[in-house]
Structure 1
């Protein structure tokens, strides 16, 4: 299939006409049958029970004895003449976030996993076929091999549809990115009991439920080439405007969008540098956490995990634990009959190139504590109910964060909202966002989540 044909097929997989391999009733029974408690447990422990984790002599960094996985280090950030310090997760290795696609009766299905992660609020969530760090899939942990990883490592079987490096949370990770890859296969693939082939429509239905589709699945699915060819004309005004957003009409040509983004990267005055964790001013270590003297919005804790269904049945690890939920929203509006999304170019401390394209309004627990201005917060946080097109509480990375949740929202802006916006904001279409996400380090993780949520409204 060509890129355009793939997009058409994915639209078919999302439509009501798609006949799923697994019915919704069967899917519900399978999901409820996945073990959660008994075989799975997460217990908070002190640093005296950290096992292979320890604080490095001299730097105070929290590191693993193998030298793999990740470490917790210090970070110094200067912005606008001010400076602050914080811990940051440093994970230089590139992991695999991969989804297998296979057609059944002409309809693409995605092999999704019911995966346990120690930081999930509900233990299990719908995840990619493969979600693994390099340390995991190369066996540093000494456990069982990662299922299906052979489809995503060269030489592989199948046809690559998507393969791009994408960033993760720039406020909590130091320059972390993972390989987002989608591979189409034609051969028979053995189905493990914790995996099921789902249509895109079934996954989009799950996206409307709190804490069900995990962050890693969302970022991979956001990279899909989605086409609206052959779709019937929607009856409602919003639907017609959204459908046209996938076409070629837009307020700004693509060259202007890229130039705007380049300009914002040029003028950003944020600077970040790693430093020893022991040198992070305003942070202290207790017997069971690394915490700030004031309200920084998060702390570092240690947990002991038992999971007989994972490659390793038990382990201990640190997790970054937010103290409040985050918030991320797209404001959307019609411009000349085409739905446009208001995005922002924003600097974050740990991103590779400092600036990425973010939602209209975004604040994590730590960003809220820093008091960063959000010009359109009133429009997004407290809109009339009839303007809210999407609203769900979704979990962030459960392998590194403890109960980290973000309220994701798509809000139709008040018609009186000016089309002219501050210079770090820009109105773009769904088609332009899809063009940008084909390349790494343009859209941040929150914007990619909202993009796949926007697709679910079409």
Structure 2
């Protein structure tokens, strides 16, 4: 049944969010399904020397690493001049992938409840093999079959969505620290007819997906970013979701999903603040030959920072089952440790607000995007002065257990990054910030959802945290850790 004016999409999504059973049982069931499918879908990853990548070559003039077809992606160099930052300039390798991929999820109503067709997908960079992924997760090179592999299932719904109902369709950025102006098309499509469920795919409600989001490393980054783009904001949510167990916190969270509840700053003021941050930035970014990157050392095995910080570029050979291609080699980025990505939230006049950071990353298309409150690897800051220590990091690492609302280790994109893990947190806090602080603003959740209807406003890490916040509406995604380690870190600019 397609939605009507009397049954708006955000209320249909809210009904899908209602828990259908014990979240622990949902997680156990899906883990069992993944384990069974994992006998047929797997990757075996072997580290290899960069000069032994098959189908890839080093440009003799620039040192850039490119695929022989000229497609997929390249590893190039980047030079950053940032006079206003704690580090005024640096060089680094970066992935340049100009083509726009498709991240798409099919949605369909069954007996009045909306469900989403999720895929059990294995990526070479996943530390645990299979993860819950979108219905379609493919680069243009993949779905145009440059690799001469099998066709991508369900692709036609997203390449030709005209006869179906489109619930979300927006280009979004990816990690601006590791990708140069990378974008993917994030889509949710409600098909008009029946959909055959293929092996490795499964319909799940939002409530079930959110229960899985509270478990370590089960819902992949691409699924999180697509889910965050759902139009989940509007009046009447409280009537559908019912009285929350934690009345004060979740009532404020429910109100934060409704534009009628208001916000500390108008959306126009938030956009003006972000525009000002973009215009104030004196950052200059330019691509340079990889062989001219300073401060990085190339060995047979990797390209690494001379201080052993940030990340490395490594080579891998992949043997796969259940993929479009059975074997290939490729370069990957391997980050320096597990990180922390945290959002501080606060109840302001009965409406939950998130403290967003206008963050510059060198690979962003438009200089800066709204990012989490904290996004850093503390170990990577040994080379910057104390004044360069990430703001509010101490608020996060010293948070009392009762103020930690979400705490789960989640993977970043497994197709280009090797074991890129970050600890995602939502923490209630009362940080003191000046009203005119140029870098941070309190923003209501309905404003973030509105901005997610447009490109280049929220970073991929912020989008993941929007999905995490939505999972707290019924408690399905609540993490279970009691403390936060003081040495945790996250992948931010330069790692």
**TM-score, normalising length: structure 2:** 0.88
Aligned to 1:174: 180
Aligned to 1:12: 15
Secondary structure of the structure 1 residue equivalent to 2:275: helix
Deviates more, 1:164-173 or 1:251-260: 251-260
Deviates more, 1:448-457 or 1:239-248: 239-248
The number of residue pairs the alignment matches comes to 456
From 414, 437, 446, the equivalent of 1:431 is: 446
How far apart are the structure 1 equivalents of 2:397 and 2:170?
32
Structure-2 change in CA distance of 1:275 and 1:87 (3 Å) = same
**TM-score, normalising length: structure 1:** 0.95
Secondary structure of the structure 2 residue equivalent to 1:101: strand
Aligned to 2:408: 392
From 281, 294, 314, the equivalent of 1:281 is: 294
Aligned to 1:127: 133
Structure-2 change in CA distance of 1:358 and 1:39 (3 Å) = closer
Structure-2 change in CA distance of 1:48 and 1:260 (3 Å) = closer
Q: Is the 8 A contact 1:325 1:365 kept in 2?
A: no
Residue 334 of structure 1: how far off its partner (Å): 1.1
How far apart are the structure 2 equivalents of 1:37 and 1:329?
36
Aligned to 1:412: 428
Q: Deviations over 1:356-400 (max 9, x none)?
A: 000111115896466443221111122111100000110001000
Structure-2 change in CA distance of 1:223 and 1:365 (3 Å) = farther
Q: Deviations over 1:85-106 (max 9, x none)?
A: 0000000000000000011111
Aligned to 2:480: none
Structure-2 change in CA distance of 1:439 and 1:171 (3 Å) = same
Residue 229 of structure 1: how far off its partner (Å): 5.0
How far apart are the structure 2 equivalents of 1:61 and 1:340?
44
How far apart are the structure 2 equivalents of 1:149 and 1:369?
46
Aligned to 2:489: none
Aligned to 2:490: none
How far apart are the structure 2 equivalents of 1:373 and 1:25?
40
1:97 partnered with 2:103? yes
Q: Is the 8 A contact 1:18 1:107 kept in 2?
A: no
How far apart are the structure 2 equivalents of 1:155 and 1:25?
34
Residue 262 of structure 1: how far off its partner (Å): 0.8
Please, what is the CA RMSD of the aligned residues? 2.2
Q: Deviations over 1:305-335 (max 9, x none)?
A: 0112100000000100011122111101111
Alignment of structure 1 residues 218-237 onto 2, 5 Å: 218-227=224-233, 228=237, 230=239, 231-234=241-244, 236-237=247-248
Q: Is the 8 A contact 1:364 1:406 kept in 2?
A: no
Q: Is the 8 A contact 2:119 2:133 kept in 1?
A: yes
How far apart are the structure 2 equivalents of 1:209 and 1:239?
20
Residue 157 of structure 1: how far off its partner (Å): 4.2
| Uncovered stretches (5+) of structure 2, i.e. residues with no partner | 474-495
Q: Deviations over 1:105-124 (max 9, x none)?
A: 11111000110100001111
Q: Is the 8 A contact 1:55 1:61 kept in 2?
A: yes
Secondary structure of the structure 2 residue equivalent to 1:204: helix
Structure-2 change in CA distance of 1:440 and 1:366 (3 Å) = farther
Q: Is the 8 A contact 1:298 1:366 kept in 2?
A: no
Q: Is the 8 A contact 1:150 1:156 kept in 2?
A: no
Secondary structure of the structure 2 residue equivalent to 1:257: helix
How far apart are the structure 1 equivalents of 2:306 and 2:35?
42
How far apart are the structure 2 equivalents of 1:374 and 1:421?
19
Aligned to 1:451: 466
Q: Deviations over 1:199-256 (max 9, x none)?
A: 0001000110111100000000000111425232435211111111112311111111
Residue 154 of structure 1: how far off its partner (Å): 2.4
From 194, 207, 210, the equivalent of 1:201 is: 207
Residue 57 of structure 1: how far off its partner (Å): 1.3
How far apart are the structure 2 equivalents of 1:25 and 1:266?
49
